[in-house]
Amino acid sequence: MPENSVPENAVIESAPEPVTATVESTGFELFTDRSVVAMRVDGELRDLATNVAADQIAVPVTITSPDGLAILRHSAAHVLAQAVQTINPAARLGIGPPIADGFYYDFDVATPFTPEDVKAIDKAMERIIRSGQRFVRRVVSDDEARAELTDEPYKLELIGLKGGAADAADNESVEVGGAELTIYDNVDPKSGETVWKDLCRGPHLPNTRMIGNGVALMRTAAAYWRGSEKNPQLQRVYGTAWPTKDDLRAYQARLEEAAKRDHRKLGQELDLFSFPDEIGSGLAVFHPRGGIIRAEIENYMRDRLVAHGYEQVYSPHITKGSLFETSGHLEWYKEGMFPAMHLDEETDADGHVTRQGQDYYLKPMNCPFHNLIFRARGRSYRELPLRLAEFGTVYRYEKSGTLQGLTRVRGLTQDDAHIYVTPDQVRDEIASQLEFVFETLRGYGLDNFYLELSTRNPDKSFGSDEAWEQATQTLREVAEESGLELVSDPGGAAFYGPKISVQARDAIGRTWQLSTVQLDFNQPERFDLEYTAADGTRQQPVMIHRALLGSIERFFAILLEHYAGAFPVWLSPVQVVGIPVAEDYGPYLDGVIARLRALGVRAEVDHSSDRMPKKIRTHTKAKVPFQLIVGEDDRAAGAVSFRYRDGSQDNGVPIDEAIERITTAIKTKAQV
């Protein structure tokens, strides 16, 4: 699901209109709707206790809005930290940000949390929530903060980052991302005593009681302080928080369904792929049945590429480092690359170097190779758009802690394409690529999309402001014309240009980033790419990067979870299984299956000694789309009986009709 998303069954209260204060007022005075938990004053998120000056505009933030959910979850993270220190005063605090669908908090404790510890923490949180402690914001100086938090070494480290958004990681900005340094006190409503406090940017809910009963602790994990393996390892507690108990239950139900669909679990159950220790972390092998599915995914993609004017190319897996110096990857992406291999060096008998070696790298991207293909000979404007496509395997040195099945691997195959166009072709080509993306994804059974526009990160990019501005505006206009929802991803672009990404929702409403279309004015300049224009002058093309599936491995995992392993017939590794009611009917079924196999259908007969009910259970569990069952009535009538994955059955179907039904489902890619 998108970050801070609201479950489909949540009741979303209508937010009050923005208010212009006529006299100095607090948010409590301006907004009486109980769903309002914070406000934006002149665009800045503020607690409801904040004074709003006359003529300032205050915009209410409801608890079901994305901002409201983040505030709810951040407040719950503070309660989690308070509960931990109530039980274990020696626990030292890390950070506790809101995240997609929940929150976490990191702790330095002597021993990892046990399930019994988590239960005790949960009970302590309930008591704090019921007590209705007020969250009270206080501005402090650096010295005051250090004096108050002298026993919190991790907080002391963060104090030096006050206002340093460039230096603080996103999750750390919840503590020190503002211009002011602030501490939030948890104040007992009866005594007025501060019972706990934390360094925090805020804002927070008015009081802990507003967190309600839609909170649950989920799991624990180890995490390095500030994400660096060089730092101490802390213990992280994850939780989730929702406006109501019903919202929480709906979320937990989605998690249960997601667990059933986990591609790692299904991959093992259906014998599709594995990650042998002998090969290494993040490197998958596809078994025969998984190989069939992967081949069908790729074959459909290849057919679509040919139909849309692409030319297929191939490039090696390794190259000299100088290529990635030219492309900029060694400058901007080196941490994501495998270390260099120093090759070709020669020495004499005394060990003196007689020939200098060179650094070679496993490729993390295909684009530099395609630029060399474009540059291999002179190009005319008549050849453009030139669309080069490759199923290119690339290698990225992902940290071991980030690897996750097929969705995050170290070796991946991209359905990569690079399109070279004249400047006046850019707009139409991007629009055409987006439509190509939508049509192709629908063919795989995905049809619920929205778009995300990733813009420049000034600290991690090259190229002129003018080129970036022009490219970004072009992408924005094309995206808006598509009619789909467009959301912003500030600073999320690659180092060479802005991008549109297609976000697809699967069968249970989760969002996956799939296709990307990126505009690049920089690579053609760095590689001195040129074409001869109609007037005979030499001009520089514009480059479009397009990855439709992202990577084959990740897309395989997404489809596996989307279909919960029950692929449509055209993708199923075994499309038809014949099951004789008794051994005598085996030869009859062999004839039917032989006709199907002659038409390219992946079909087989189960001649095992198992009884028919067990055979049905076995192949239903294997998620075979069609089971053809034959007994005496079927044989006598020259027919078969269909049994489907949902347990329904269609008896006495003539053989010719059965074959037509199966081949049509495959040919039309029906969502059976």
Residues carrying an active site annotation:
367, 396, 414, 416, 418, 499, 545
d(CA 137, CA 388): 57
Residues 6+ apart with CB under 8 A from 548: 301, 415, 417, 436, 437, 440, 441, 514, 515
| Helix 66-87, helix 115-131: angle, nearest 10 | 110
Under 8 Å between Cβ of 214 and 190: no
In this structure, which amino acid lies at residue 115?
P
Residue 332 has which token pair? 């901007």
DSSP for 115-132?
HHHHHHHHHHHHHHHHHT
End-to-end alpha-carbon separation of the chain, Å? 26
Closest CA to 85 of 54, 106, 62: 106
Q: Which helix (H) or strand (E) holds 617?
A: helix 612-621
Q: Which residue blocks in 261-417 are alpha helix, DSSP H?
A: 263-269, 288-307, 321-327, 329-332, 367-375
Closest CA to 35 of 250, 241, 212: 212
DSSP for 106-169?
EEE-SSPPPHHHHHHHHHHHHHHHHHTPEEEEEEE-HHHHHHHTTT-HHHHHHHTTTT-TTTS-
Q: Which helix (H) or strand (E) holds 251?
A: helix 245-260
Under 8 Å between Cβ of 669 and 609: no
What is the CA 166 to chain-centroid distance, rounded?
24
The CA dihedral of 7, 8, 10, 14, to the nearest 10 degrees, is 110
Under 8 Å between Cβ of 421 and 432: no
CA distances from 404 to 2, 338, 362, 398 (A): 19, 18, 21, 10
Residue 439 has which token pair? 């049509």
d(CA 334, CA 371): 20
Residue 665: Cβ within 10 Å count: 19
Cis peptide before 203 (omega within 30 of 0): yes
d(CA 234, CA 506): 34
What is the CA 35 to chain-centroid distance, rounded?
31
Burial category of 166 from C-beta neighbours within 10 Å (exposed 0-12, middle 13-18, buried 19 and up) = exposed
Closest CA to 362 of 321, 417, 408: 321
Q: Which residue blocks in 420-542 are alpha helix, DSSP H?
A: 426-443, 465-481, 522-526
Q: What letter would DSSP give residue 143?
A: H
Closest CA to 126 of 245, 13, 28, 221: 245
Under 8 Å between Cβ of 363 and 338: no
d(CA 138, CA 265): 49
d(CA 504, CA 514): 7
Q: Which residue blocks in 450-600 are alpha helix, DSSP H?
A: 465-481, 522-526, 552-562, 586-598
